[in-house]
Structure formats: structure tokens, C-alpha cells
Structure 1
């Protein structure tokens, strides 16, 4: 291995961490999913769907868990050939299947916005596949990598709606098109690699098995001095190059710090924070339902690597902004932290312009979990029954701990916890006004009481 200036090697290893973090973190999550499951989803092998059996609740062990939709997740192994995906007819109800490659790039969508809600079959093909396409399929989804994550979301309007959702889940199937050998797990890194170097061992092994786009391969060629392009036995089991060991361990630390800094928010503003372009780091591969437009691409490739790494660490498998955006806030209109010791109102002169639906979900801080309450209401939105609107069509949402005494305020009540909290406003299929910033979400205003009169019903 050629000698390099130590600081140059450290800088190179730092870049390698930022570049490879999404691959390592994403596939490590896939491996954990298949072994132990994630949250309410049970451990599930390749090429089978795992389904949530109920809406999320405060008992769900996930951070900022989605309460509007119920998840179905499958990890596909296409090394043995394509798979046939069947989707049921949802009769107009919102759903989306999001396709994510091994590098965490969103490259295709099937569902309400992208392809409609009718039943049909889709062929999911591996890289370089050129076989015959059955005439019955609606289309071909060309995968950039041989392992693909499919993240499904079905809208659910409460416990009484779960029967409908479960019936749809049962019709969501994957079938092998050709006979072949399908692996049961991911390529295994060498277990004898010392712990401080295991990130780079995973990166080396998985980078070889799941090559990225040609442009990315040209970038990763820079990492040759780090041993990341070596094939065969691991170069990290017994390293006799002290400068390299130092560069890898220091680069790992600096890379993590760079990614954490990129994801840090001051949280000092008075309004809502929202970034419709947080997931625009896919620059090379656009399949069914993915928008191939400069508007949805990060212009600078190296900047895209940092954004992709930050998202992989903080919001893995989120969707493009044109599918859904999420606004959140920690402060009221005066810049003060939101806290259950006070009451707040959100006044919407007109509801958010969306193509599907919107809702606001309550999470506590710092755990970012759903907030238990006697009403069993964890979110409120345009699908919430019994909301009371003003004569001009406006909507006032009341956010507080205790149920308001006023009947209209109680109908529009989103319960808050005792301490600090963080509401998240989910906007599914946001309209141009949201994406362009023309529609502004009003800040939460502190009120004297949950019903505007200071009265409380206990």
C-alpha cells in the first residue's frame, strides 16, 4: 500500500466516510431488519413483505413514527433474477411504494400520485437484466442495485379502518419470475477486522457487491490508498501501516462530526422548518414515478454525498418532497419553546393545498415519541371527523394538555404532553404553493386557555 501524507490520508478517509455512510448505515439497517425486525415490523427474509398490524401508538418503539399511514416493508434480492410485484386496488385511497437502492437513493414510486390506485403487476428487474417482459405487467422498474428496499405506506383513518388496510396488505405480493438461487443474507464482512476499522470493512465489501453509478465510481476511485477497492481477503485484519490505521480511525471521527454538523438545526426560529429538497441526492437513476428534473437534483455531486449521509443518519428512507413533506417546529410565534405548561392555537385561514391529505402529529421532546392521552388522539388533520370550521372556512387547532371546555375547541383539540413538545405537520402530495414557499404555515400562538377563554374541562 503506497505511503501517503498522513493528513492527506485523514482527509481522504473523512471523505470516504461521508460518501459511504449511507451504504453502510442503510444495509446495516436492512440486516438488522431481517434478523430482529424494526419497531412493530417482525424479522423478515428477502423478497417477503413485513406488515405493521396496527397504527402507531405511544407503545411503538420508533422515533417520530408516522401515525397517518401503516407500513409494509420488503427488502428485495434481485441477484437471482427479477421479481413480479402485485399491488391491489385501493379504490382511490392514498398509498405509496417507495423504491430505494442500496445507496439509499429513491429511484421509483408506485402509488396514488405516481401510478394511480388501480390493481396491477410491476416487474422489478436487476441491473443489466435483458430478459422478456410479461405482457400483463403495467411496467418495468429497473433497479440500480441488486438489493432494493421497498417502503410501503397505506393511509389509515383509525383503528376501525385497519380491516381495510390489512386486506390490502394481504394482496401485496412478490413472486420470482425465473428459477434461480437467492441469497439469504448480505455479503459478510470479515469478522476478524478490529472494531475501529469495521465501518471501512463493511464499506469495502458492500461497495464491491453493490456498485454505484458510473459517476460515483469515478469519485470512489480516489479511495484506493485506503484499501477500499481491494478485492479478496480483507486488508484490515492485520494492518502494518500505522499511518493508514490512524487515517481511518481519525477520518471516521471527523466524518461523523461533519455529518452531525450538517444535520444540526439551530431550532431558534419562530416558524416551521421544512425542506422539500432534503432527498434530492439521487442524481443518476430515475424510474417509474420518480421525477427527472433539475428542480429535484442537488446540483453539486459532492454536496449531494453530504446531504445523503446526513439523511441516512437522521431520516432513513424518507420520500422526495413531491411525494410528501414534513414541517416541524419547537417554538411559538414569540420564539419561546413549546411546552405543555401553556396553551396554543394554530389558525389556518385556509388549509394546506395538498393533493392527498395533511395532518399534524404531536411528539414529545427529547424522545420524539407519540404522546399518550385519554382521548387517544395523536394527530389531527383534514381526515379527522367532527372538526369545527369557521364561517369563512378557517380552522383553528387547539394544542394543550387538558381538554378545552368549549365544544368547538374540544373538537379541534390536539393533546400535548406536560413538558416540551414538537408538532410535525405532514403534507402528502404537496401543491406547488407549498413546494415554492408561497403558502406559509402560521406559527403557533400562545393562548390564555385551550378554548380562548381560559376555561378547562377536567
Structure 2
């Protein structure tokens, strides 16, 4: 999922979406005036519902997908109110979520706060990047637990639904969600191959328990092996609107009641969508197609380009900017807040031409990229195909280059020149610093974990990327 990535930087998390096709549609021009008015009104509300509801529907699909097991799996799936570890770095094999990272282990889960609060235990984590990003069903950030916000000592953290007034343990921090369901999107930095064993042990020590089991709730069970990430079945057309009705009913927001009430005209919250008129059904099918394209256009163009890199500075807190919420989550479900991670991406070279692996490119990065190393911060640049935004198989199994990549050859001033092409370079330095590309269009995503203030406030600029001979 990218605009990204805060995506699941924390699972990171993004869902594959494809342009739907419903075949021949009846034109409103073929209708009498009364029917045409009914069509147009339903269509306009349907488009509004699309823009409003894209992110929560994505979240609900992800929740169903990730919790559709009866035991934690090594691909991150786990029953509700349990944690699911992903026990390897993701690579080209993983095609459930767009732009997954190759930098961290994931430790994620979904919780239902209706019956009682949940308590998350975080172990002591020193000298390492980690985050447990907590999101409500509308992708608003509940809290980002990490070294920068709660320190490296770890501890117990209470997650409750707004309005809960039962007893709580003293001296424990409490964070409230607007919705019954929350997503715990956790990541643990992995520095190199030798470091994976240590990171995996830290991953095992996280615990999630109902409040009535605090503090002795069970440890994570050993996950069952699963060779692939689960595949997404995303609803389209009328099925999408049905799914929106379910999400809104389960996770109502008082502050959104006015706009949600307007959706009753198309069967959401009043009558089953199955019972709406044929004219309204046709209108909603077209509204889905056009709403998708409206969100997609915003996803492609709403970021701020600087030197060919597209930055997103407004993730995590959306208020009533529903189009921003939808477009950001179309690119990357659950994008982190800028203070925790930034994910600038690019599709074009210095002349604005689409990147393609049949060409060669280079970028020279400065010696000091502004990330807070004291909070575990680091950076990387990852290769994805341009169409679906998945990592690309290559013969050296290198999917990214970053501050933890070993055996890179730096320039005399400490800067680093990265070479990008499909064909492996012959020059020793270029070969050492080579980021393999597919022999087709591709995109690059930079990740700055725990960026300095100059990054997330917009004054920092990444260097330009140049096509070379």
C-alpha cells in the first residue's frame, strides 16, 4: 500500500486495487427526466460515499483478511486480539500489500475493544528502530509507541475505546480509540542478516492481552509456518457499498453523522442496498468507477514534488479531508505520521521521463541524511515495479540500499552514489552500489525512519536522480 507507506511504514500495510469493469452501463441520457434525476442524485451521493469510505473499507478488508485464521501465522495473520509476527523480511514474493518494506520485521494484530480494553506489553528495546503504530478504523492515529514517544524501557500500555469508564490499573498510560476495532501495526528494524536472530527474539517478546488478564497474559504462541502473504479479495461495485455499510455500523463516528445520514438515500444505514431501485444500482456502479478514478488521480497528484521526489506531509490526522484520507491510503494503507517516518517516492528521472530498467540512472546521497539515530532512525531506498508497486526479483537478492546495507563503496567525501539499471554494471564501484531494476517501468521509494524536524516540516530536499549513459 504508499503515499504511501505509512504503510505499515507501519505494516506497513497497502491493499492491491485494480480498476473494475462492469460491462455496458445504461446511460442516464436514455432515461426520462424523473429517472434521470433519481440516477444523478444517487450517483452524486455514491461518489461522496466512495471518497468518504475508501479508507475504512480498506481497513475492514485488511482486518477480515488478517484475522481469518485460528492460530497466529508466520505471515502476520492472527485471530482477533492476538499478535501475528512476520518472521522474515518481505521481498518479491509478497504481493498482498503494495510497497511493503524490506527493512523491518512486522509484529501486527487487530483488537476488538468493545468488551474491554486490551493491554499491550512491549519489551525493552535498545539501540534499534521499533514502532507499534495504533490506528482506528478510519486510519486516524491513536498513538505511535516507539523510542521517541515512550522510550526504550518498554512496559504495559492500555488501549481502550472512547467512553470506557470501567476500572483501570494505576500508573499505566491509556490511549483511546474512536472505534471498536484497532490495528496494531508494529515494525522492528533489522540491521543486517546477522541481526535477524536478535530482532526475531525481540519480536517474540511482545504480548497482547485483555485487561482482565493483565499483567500475566499469555506469551505469543509459536506461529504456524506460511510461505506466502495472504491474498486480498477487495469488494467492487455494489459489494463495495455493502461493505461500507457494515464498517460504518460497526464503527460509527458521532462527528460524521451528518454526512453518513446522507448515505441513507442509497440504502446505507436505512435499507439494504439489495432493495434499492435498479436506477440507483446503476448509479452506484458508475459512482464506484468514477469515485475510484477520483481517488486514484488524487493519489497520483496530491503529493508535493521536490527534485522529482513526491512527499506526503499530512498522513495520520485527516479530520474532514476525506479525499486526502482516501488517496493516501490507496497508495499505502495506514501511512505513518510524518514525525515517525517519511516515504517520498518517484516515478520519473530528472527530465520527467518515466523510469525504466532498460536505462541506467544514478543518484548521489549526502553523507549525513537527517534521521535520528539515537531513536533508531535509519534510511533506505527500495525498488518496485511501477504498475503494481511490488518488489522485483533479481539475481543478487537486493531489493533496497540503505544506511544498514553492507559493503557499499562510498565517495571520498562520505557521500554515496547508487547506480540503478536492469543490467548489472561491470565497474567495481558501480557493481557494489547497484540497485537492480526490472526491464520495465519502475518506481523508487525512499524511507526515512525517525526523520529530523527539517524532513517532516518540508525544508529538507533529497537529491535529483539522473539518467546516465
In structure 2, do the counterparts of structure 1 residues 334 and 266 end up closer, same or farther at CA, with 3 Å as the change threshold? farther
Counterpart position of 2:339: 322
Residue number among 106, 119, 133 corresponding to 2:154 in the alignment: 119
TM-score w.r.t. the length of structure 2 is 0.79
The answer to whether the 8 Å contact 1:79/1:126 transfers is yes
Report the alpha carbon displacement of residue 14 of structure 1 after superposing the two structures with TM.
1.8
- In structure 2, how many angstroms separate the alpha carbons of the residues matched to 1:149 and 1:237? 30
SS in structure 1 of the partner of residue 95 of structure 2 = coil
In structure 2, do the counterparts of structure 1 residues 70 and 130 end up closer, same or farther at CA, with 3 Å as the change threshold? same
- In structure 2, how many angstroms separate the alpha carbons of the residues matched to 1:101 and 1:318? 12
Counterpart position of 1:94: 129
Deviations 1:177-231 (A, max 9, x none): 138xxxxxxxxxxxxxx9853333332233122112x32123322333333233x
1:206 equivalenced with 2:227 (yes/no): no
TM-score w.r.t. the length of structure 1 is 0.80
- In structure 2, how many angstroms separate the alpha carbons of the residues matched to 1:371 and 1:119? 36
- In structure 2, how many angstroms separate the alpha carbons of the residues matched to 1:134 and 1:201? 40
Residue segments in structure 2 that go unaligned for 5+ positions in a row: 1-34, 214-234
Counterpart position of 1:236: 273
Residue number among 44, 47, 62 corresponding to 1:29 in the alignment: 62
Report the alpha carbon displacement of residue 405 of structure 1 after superposing the two structures with TM.
4.3
Deviations 1:326-368 (A, max 9, x none): 1222222233332333332211244321121111112233343
Counterpart position of 1:420: 441
Instruction: List aligned pairs for 1:140-219, cutoff 5 A.
Output: 140-178=174-212, 197-212=238-253, 214-219=254-259
The answer to whether the 8 Å contact 2:382/2:401 transfers is yes
In structure 2, do the counterparts of structure 1 residues 242 and 168 end up closer, same or farther at CA, with 3 Å as the change threshold? same
The answer to whether the 8 Å contact 2:76/2:108 transfers is no
- In structure 2, how many angstroms separate the alpha carbons of the residues matched to 1:175 and 1:271? 46
SS in structure 2 of the partner of residue 29 of structure 1 = helix
- In structure 2, how many angstroms separate the alpha carbons of the residues matched to 1:243 and 1:94? 53
- In structure 2, how many angstroms separate the alpha carbons of the residues matched to 1:369 and 1:178? 41
The answer to whether the 8 Å contact 1:326/1:427 transfers is yes
SS in structure 1 of the partner of residue 287 of structure 2 = helix
Count of aligned residue pairs for this structure pair: 406
The answer to whether the 8 Å contact 1:271/1:332 transfers is no
SS in structure 2 of the partner of residue 433 of structure 1 = helix
SS in structure 2 of the partner of residue 16 of structure 1 = helix
The answer to whether the 8 Å contact 1:270/1:335 transfers is no
In structure 2, do the counterparts of structure 1 residues 428 and 242 end up closer, same or farther at CA, with 3 Å as the change threshold? same
Report the alpha carbon displacement of residue 160 of structure 1 after superposing the two structures with TM.
2.1
Report the alpha carbon displacement of residue 4 of structure 1 after superposing the two structures with TM.
11
The answer to whether the 8 Å contact 1:271/1:329 transfers is no
SS in structure 2 of the partner of residue 114 of structure 1 = helix
Task: Compare relative contact order (CA 8 Å, sep 6+) and give the higher one, 1 or 2.
Answer: 2
Counterpart position of 1:130: 165
- In structure 1, how many angstroms separate the alpha carbons of the residues matched to 2:398 and 2:48? 45
1:255 equivalenced with 2:276 (yes/no): no
Report the alpha carbon displacement of residue 67 of structure 1 after superposing the two structures with TM.
0.5
Report the alpha carbon displacement of residue 35 of structure 1 after superposing the two structures with TM.
2.1
1:392 equivalenced with 2:433 (yes/no): no
1:346 equivalenced with 2:382 (yes/no): no
Report the alpha carbon displacement of residue 134 of structure 1 after superposing the two structures with TM.
1.4
In structure 2, do the counterparts of structure 1 residues 272 and 71 end up closer, same or farther at CA, with 3 Å as the change threshold? farther
Report the alpha carbon displacement of residue 122 of structure 1 after superposing the two structures with TM.
0.3
In structure 2, do the counterparts of structure 1 residues 379 and 196 end up closer, same or farther at CA, with 3 Å as the change threshold? closer
The answer to whether the 8 Å contact 1:270/1:334 transfers is no
Report the alpha carbon displacement of residue 314 of structure 1 after superposing the two structures with TM.
2.7
In structure 2, do the counterparts of structure 1 residues 266 and 111 end up closer, same or farther at CA, with 3 Å as the change threshold? closer
- In structure 2, how many angstroms separate the alpha carbons of the residues matched to 1:253 and 1:402? 39
In structure 2, do the counterparts of structure 1 residues 24 and 111 end up closer, same or farther at CA, with 3 Å as the change threshold? same
Report the alpha carbon displacement of residue 403 of structure 1 after superposing the two structures with TM.
4.5
Residue number among 427, 432, 451 corresponding to 2:453 in the alignment: 432
- In structure 2, how many angstroms separate the alpha carbons of the residues matched to 1:44 and 1:224? 34
In structure 2, do the counterparts of structure 1 residues 220 and 447 end up closer, same or farther at CA, with 3 Å as the change threshold? same
SS in structure 1 of the partner of residue 199 of structure 2 = helix
Report the alpha carbon displacement of residue 256 of structure 1 after superposing the two structures with TM.
2.3
Question: Which protein is bigger by CA-based radius of gyration?
Answer: 1
Report the alpha carbon displacement of residue 167 of structure 1 after superposing the two structures with TM.
0.8
- In structure 2, how many angstroms separate the alpha carbons of the residues matched to 1:346 and 1:71? 29
In structure 2, do the counterparts of structure 1 residues 195 and 151 end up closer, same or farther at CA, with 3 Å as the change threshold? closer
